[in-house]
Structure 1
Amino acid sequence: MMMTKTRLILLAGVATGIMLQPAMALDAQAFVDRVAEVYKTIGYDLEFGTATLDGDTITVDGVTVGLTQMAAEDGMEPVVIDTELTFSGVTEGADGSYKAASLTVPDIDTDFAEDPTGHLTLSDIRVDGIYVPAGDTIPAVAVLQLWQSASTGKLSVTRDGEEVISIDSITSNTTFNPEQGAAALTDLHSTFAANNIRLDLSTVGEEDASAGAVIEALGLTNISGNITQDVTWSMADGHMVINEAKFDFPQVGKINLKADLTGLTPAVLDQIYAMQAAMAASGDASEEQAQAQMMSTMALMQGVSIVGASVRYDDASLAGKLLEFFATQSGTDRATFVSGIKSMLPALIGQAGIPALTDLVVPPVSAFLDNPQSLEVKVAPPSPTSVLVLMAAAANPAGLITALGLGVTANQAE
């Protein structure tokens, strides 16, 4: 009987050991190395500090974030994040991929400039639903699924102790269909929001007196608002709809961009990534290489079509204040100043040599100048039209207006 119990205990221990083996096999350094390798695909050069494993939690002693060679040529210096990074709920898949439930970063509270003193605080930094794909080549469909959500609490920037920028919170969320990590991703929905942005521009004049005077005259010393974005994207036909990309500052005005495109499939993105990698590897391209790259880009654009797009501005006060300001600068009243602009519009637009454009633009712009409410530019081709076709149509600007279904309206409801 005693022997039987002993055997059962031994068997239970062996079984427990087998079940725990995958977790014990997790390697902290291999994880961060893989993260760095994957993010190099999208242009980031990450150098992680020492990584330590505790159960399914990996802590990392900071990271230096740089850009890969092609991006670095633009003069961007690496950013050193000298604080502990905590990846929680890390698991390794059978194929060598990784997932992490979350990444959290301690609150930032640091000076970044001396004269004048600049100070930055940022709280509640986290990323949830992290996916690190396996494989020597990272396909675009995997890149699109690297994380599910990211958020921060309040961001505050002070200048000599006075707050000049603050944002209550920043959130970004993506939902995937089917679940994150699927090779056959069907579609995704992504949202972004920077909530309650507040800007104090009263100190701009200390650096640039003329700019400060303009800001003061326009009553823009303190402004606030929100930035939001909403995007849906279907993989099969590359149908991307930007439902909104909105900059809404109620005391000033609102700008909203919308777009409807097809053909932006993962296969097209894969080709774009391959071209970028080839350009980075070749360094300074010869004239022949540059031409070949241009031809490749044009070939890619043949499959991307515009269904529609629009940019709309709704004025709250800015347009009227600008007209008042420039009228005063010109030594006249607003009505006279507006009449002068309207009289010059046909000649200014007519310089393009396209009568149809003058007929399209002058009436709505004139109406907006008389009564600034809204101004919208829309593109609505009769049928989805490839970017390449539109590039060819540009040789005949009058024909391009028709091909684009270009329209300009003023003071109309959304």
Structure 2
Amino acid sequence: MMSSTTSRSLMLATGLATLAMMQPAMALDAQTFVDRIAAVYEVGGYNITFGPATLEGDTVTVDGATVSLLGLEDESWTIDTTLTFSGVAETEDGGFTAESLTIPDIDTEFAQDPVGHLTMTDVEANDIYLPPADAINNLALLESVGSITTGPLTVTRDGEDFFSIQSISAVNEFTYDDADTLIDIASTFDVAGISANLQTMAEEDPEAGPVIEALGLTQINGSISQIMTWDMTDGHLVIEEFLFDFDEVGALDITADISGFTPQVLDKVAAMQSPTIDLTSEEAQAQQMMVGMELLQALTLTSASVRYDDDSLAGKLLDLFAAQSGADRAQFVEGLKAMAPQMIGQAGIPALTDMAIPAINAFLDDPQSFEIAVRPATPTTLLVLSAAAANPAGLISALGLSITANQ
């Protein structure tokens, strides 16, 4: 038979081993977790105060929160619902991860006269990462969430449909090197099924109403989408698409391709935007100027463009303004075409006038598309382009500026 001393020793050893294995789980503290979230988002200019947080297993439940912008604490937004973080774990270096954040469906009034009612369903964030306390920076803010999605959002005004969205989706795909350093972000952002009913506004506003009716904008439908990649190593940022597309209105697409926007540059820009800095002081202004010069030197432009594709809005505007002037559309367009050279010529850049007028005339005659693009022959720093601005004609050439219509 085992002696009592041996038995007690084994029980003590077993207890110590069990306690040692439990330490990582016991180290997870709900308050520390939500405090870390607040610290990460403070870098982005947000002041978040969470309600009481409790831990059960690997789930942290938070009783609401108050959110405001730093420096604008009097204009806060209260989240009066339960926030549930699932799959929460602490990393070896003192950071945190969570599989998801979910909140109950929202169904609330937000205004009384007129009565505004908001509903929103299926709100969820996934793949949450919070760094150790000593590694919080702007890059940590960028990689804090893998995706945010929602279901339908609706806003009613005095019980009538006013605004709705079918879904929202923001997805980030992160690439890391062998040392677990973030090297690339690929992002997509989609707001699908946007619908706005402007009939009530048209009925209530004596000035806007006739315009809304004439343009056929009592009901508008569309979507917003963005595709972007960002390489951390050389700061190569490519906005492949930033598209606002609305039926029977038109589509506006913005693209850009720049290099040099590294995390270090981002940190410098963010530091100068801190609400604690007195921008009226000479020291702060001098520092801003230095940062501005560093940005001009660091950032390289490969291309950028703004393109509008008409879906009847331009034609309706021309018809409306022609009617208001007492002329038919053809006469009104000819008048605009006669005025355009003088208006563009006020810039004092003949090369710009020569480039812009043919495109403007073509679009006025037949509104299909209009694009302004810059594509330097070789990628060029913004500092070089700024220096070229002393000679506007030279700047047009350096930028590779083009203005085209209906192409």
Normalising by structure 1, we get a TM-score of: 0.93
Instruction: Quote the residue 1:185 is aligned against.
Output: 182
CA contact (8 A) 2:129 2:145 kept: yes
Instruction: Quote the residue 2:160 is aligned against.
Output: 162
Cα 1:363/1:108, change in 2 over 3 Å: same
Asked if 1:397 is matched to 2:395, the reply is no
Instruction: Quote the residue 2:380 is aligned against.
Output: 385
Deviates more, 1:352-361 or 1:201-210: 201-210
Asked if 1:233 is matched to 2:230, the reply is yes
Q: 1:126 aligned to 119, 124, 127, which one?
A: 124
Q: 2:268 aligned to 268, 271, 294, which one?
A: 271
Q: Aligned partners of 2:122, 2:2: CA distance in 1, in Å?
A: 56
Q: CA deviation at 1:16?
A: 4.5
Instruction: Quote the residue 2:77 is aligned against.
Output: 79
Q: Aligned partners of 1:119, 1:267: CA distance in 2, in Å?
A: 43
Q: 2:60 aligned to 55, 58, 61, which one?
A: 58
Instruction: Quote the residue 1:406 is aligned against.
Output: 401
Provide, for residues 320-346 of structure 1, a one-character-per-residue CA deviation record: whole Å limited to 9, x for no partner.
000000000011111110011011111
Provide, for residues 380-405 of structure 1, a one-character-per-residue CA deviation record: whole Å limited to 9, x for no partner.
01111112222222222111111111
Secondary structure of 2:22's counterpart equals helix
Instruction: Quote the residue 1:176 is aligned against.
Output: 174
Secondary structure of 1:124's counterpart equals coil
AA aligned to 1:22 is P
CA contact (8 A) 2:107 2:117 kept: yes
Q: CA deviation at 1:19?
A: 2.8
Asked if 1:291 is matched to 2:293, the reply is no
Q: Aligned partners of 1:12, 1:231: CA distance in 2, in Å?
A: 54
Provide, for residues 19-60 of structure 1, a one-character-per-residue CA deviation record: whole Å limited to 9, x for no partner.
332112211111111111111111000000101110111111
Matches within 5 A, 1:255-404: 255-277=252-274, 280-404=275-399
Instruction: Quote the residue 1:197 is aligned against.
Output: 194
Root-mean-square deviation over aligned CA pairs = 2.1
CA contact (8 A) 2:39 2:136 kept: no
Q: Aligned partners of 2:18, 2:159: CA distance in 1, in Å?
A: 57
Unaligned runs of 5+ in 1: none
Provide, for residues 247-278 of structure 1, a one-character-per-residue CA deviation record: whole Å limited to 9, x for no partner.
1112211111111010001111122222233x
Q: Aligned partners of 1:270, 1:368: CA distance in 2, in Å?
A: 43
Q: 1:44 aligned to 24, 46, 49, which one?
A: 46
AA aligned to 2:194 is I
Q: CA deviation at 1:93?
A: 1.5
Paired residues, number: 405
AA aligned to 1:222 is Q
CA contact (8 A) 1:228 1:245 kept: yes
Q: Aligned partners of 2:102, 2:179: CA distance in 1, in Å?
A: 25
CA contact (8 A) 2:360 2:405 kept: yes
AA aligned to 1:168 is Q
Cα 1:284/1:142, change in 2 over 3 Å: closer
AA aligned to 2:65 is V
CA contact (8 A) 1:141 1:183 kept: no
Secondary structure of 1:38's counterpart equals helix
Deviates more, 1:137-146 or 1:382-391: 137-146
Secondary structure of 2:332's counterpart equals helix
Q: Aligned partners of 1:199, 1:172: CA distance in 2, in Å?
A: 22
Q: CA deviation at 1:186?
A: 1.4
AA aligned to 1:243 is E
Cα 1:9/1:154, change in 2 over 3 Å: farther
Deviates more, 1:10-19 or 1:127-136: 10-19
Instruction: Quote the residue 2:212 is aligned against.
Output: 215
AA aligned to 1:145 is E
CA contact (8 A) 2:230 2:238 kept: yes
Secondary structure of 1:392's counterpart equals helix
CA contact (8 A) 1:172 1:190 kept: yes
Q: Aligned partners of 1:216, 1:206: CA distance in 2, in Å?
A: 9
Q: Aligned partners of 2:160, 2:118: CA distance in 1, in Å?
A: 11
Cα 1:293/1:168, change in 2 over 3 Å: same
CA contact (8 A) 2:371 2:405 kept: yes
Cα 1:352/1:7, change in 2 over 3 Å: same
Q: Aligned partners of 2:309, 2:14: CA distance in 1, in Å?
A: 70
Q: Aligned partners of 1:10, 1:371: CA distance in 2, in Å?
A: 88
CA contact (8 A) 1:364 1:410 kept: yes
Q: Aligned partners of 2:182, 2:398: CA distance in 1, in Å?
A: 33
Secondary structure of 1:186's counterpart equals strand
Q: Aligned partners of 2:168, 2:54: CA distance in 1, in Å?
A: 29
Instruction: Quote the residue 1:250 is aligned against.
Output: 247
Normalising by structure 2, we get a TM-score of: 0.94
